[in-house]
Amino acid sequence: MLSDAEIASFIRDGFVRVDRAFSRETAAEARTILWRATGCDPDDPSTWTRPVIRLGQFAQPPFREAAHSPVLHRALDQLVGPGRWLPPGALGTFPVRFPSANAPGDDGWHIDVSFGMETPDFMEWRANVSSRGRALLMLFLFSDVEQNDAPTRIRVGSHLDIARQLAPAGDAGLTLRELAADGFAASAHRPEALAVGAAGTVYLCHPFIVHAAQPHRGKNPRFLAQPPLLPREPICLDRRNAEYSPLEQAILQALEEI
């Protein structure tokens, strides 16, 4: 179970790290499948010719085991609310990052928007203040990730800045293009955290967290899944019984500061 301090940290900082959410054995089984999908040889770095290879959804047993671990599900109940989220059917996408002197080309600051995907231009996809279509961003570490292994960069507390930016736009929300117009300057003052940890670690992030990839300066390829957690019911910022989840509390706290 997450402690009261960890839940408070999620509300304040926008993420919480869950160690040993799934086993190292499960992670190793998953990496074997992922290596095959990359077309690279794990024992021959000369085959690692691209800085990043993006893989799709995976639903084989080790991925299902990772997604449905009791430790993880208890944490999701605590952050989103029992019965308010949908268990993931698969994990993806996987941006597999390799040591490389070449820029990956996808390392800009952003949030993961959550609706309007019927539009072909992904910059027109949208997010709104009630996070329609997304309850959390989850980062599943399927390999050990140290400081030089291209860990995801997280702007601590940036979910509060995004909530305040989205609030005036109401249900319609803003497009990614609108959100990124100033390069996410509202959160540029925030300290950065790195999503490091042992294989089996999961970071549970508020859907509004501003984050970014980075070049891989280490030696060992990084295997990470970044699936959304989908809501079973809409996130509500006006509950009659005031039984708000930590996810909702974080948004309400941001709006109180406008």
In this predicted model, what pLDDT tens digit does every residue of 122-170 receive, in sequence order?
999 999 999 999 999 999 999 999 999 999 999 999 999 999 999 999 9
Mean pLDDT, rounded, for 15-26: 98
Q: What is the mean pLDDT of residues 189-212?
A: 98
Contact (CB, 8 A) for 142 and 198:
no
Instruction: Give the per-residue pLDDT at 231.
Output: 97
Mean pLDDT, residues 112-130:
96
CB neighbour burial string for 115-124, b if at least 16 within 10 angstroms, e if fewer: ebeeeeeeee
Answer for the pair 58, 92: CB distance below 8 angstroms, yes or no. yes
Question: Are 246 and 7 spatial neighbours (Cβ–Cβ below 8 Å)?
Answer: yes
Interval 4-15 mean pLDDT: 98
**Relative orientation angle of helices 246-256 and 70-80, to the nearest 10 degrees:** 30
> How large is the average pLDDT for residues 20-42?
98
Give 51-60 pLDDT, tens digit per residue.
Answer: 999 999 999 9
For the chain, the average pLDDT equals 96
Q: Which residues contact 6 (CB under 8 A, 6 or more apart)?
A: 16
Residue whose entry in the numeric block shows the structure tokens 């925030």: 190
- Give residue 234's Cα distance to chain centre: 19
Q: How far is CA 76 from CA 59, 80, 142, 187, in A?
A: 20, 6, 19, 26
Name the token pair of 216: 């891989």
| d(C-alpha 70, C-alpha 67), whole Å | 9
Residue 13 CA to residue 9 CA, distance in Å, equals 5
DSSP 201: -
Per cent of the chain over pLDDT 90 is 96
- Rounded CA-CA distance 57/34 in Å is 11
pLDDT tens for 179-193 read: 999 999 999 999 999
Output the pLDDT for position 105.
92
Does residue 257 carry a pLDDT above 80? no
Identify the bridge partners of residue 174 per DSSP, sorted by sequence position.
127
What is the pLDDT confidence band of residue 223, given thresholds at 50, 70 and 90? Answer: very high
Instruction: Place 258 in a pLDDT band, splitting at 50, 70 and 90.
Output: low
Superfamily (CATH H level) for 4-256 = q2cbj1_9rhob like domain (2.60.120.620)
Q: What is the pLDDT of residue 89?
A: 87
CA dist 23 and 39 (Å) reads 25
Region 39-51: mean pLDDT is 97
Average pLDDT over residues 46-72: 96
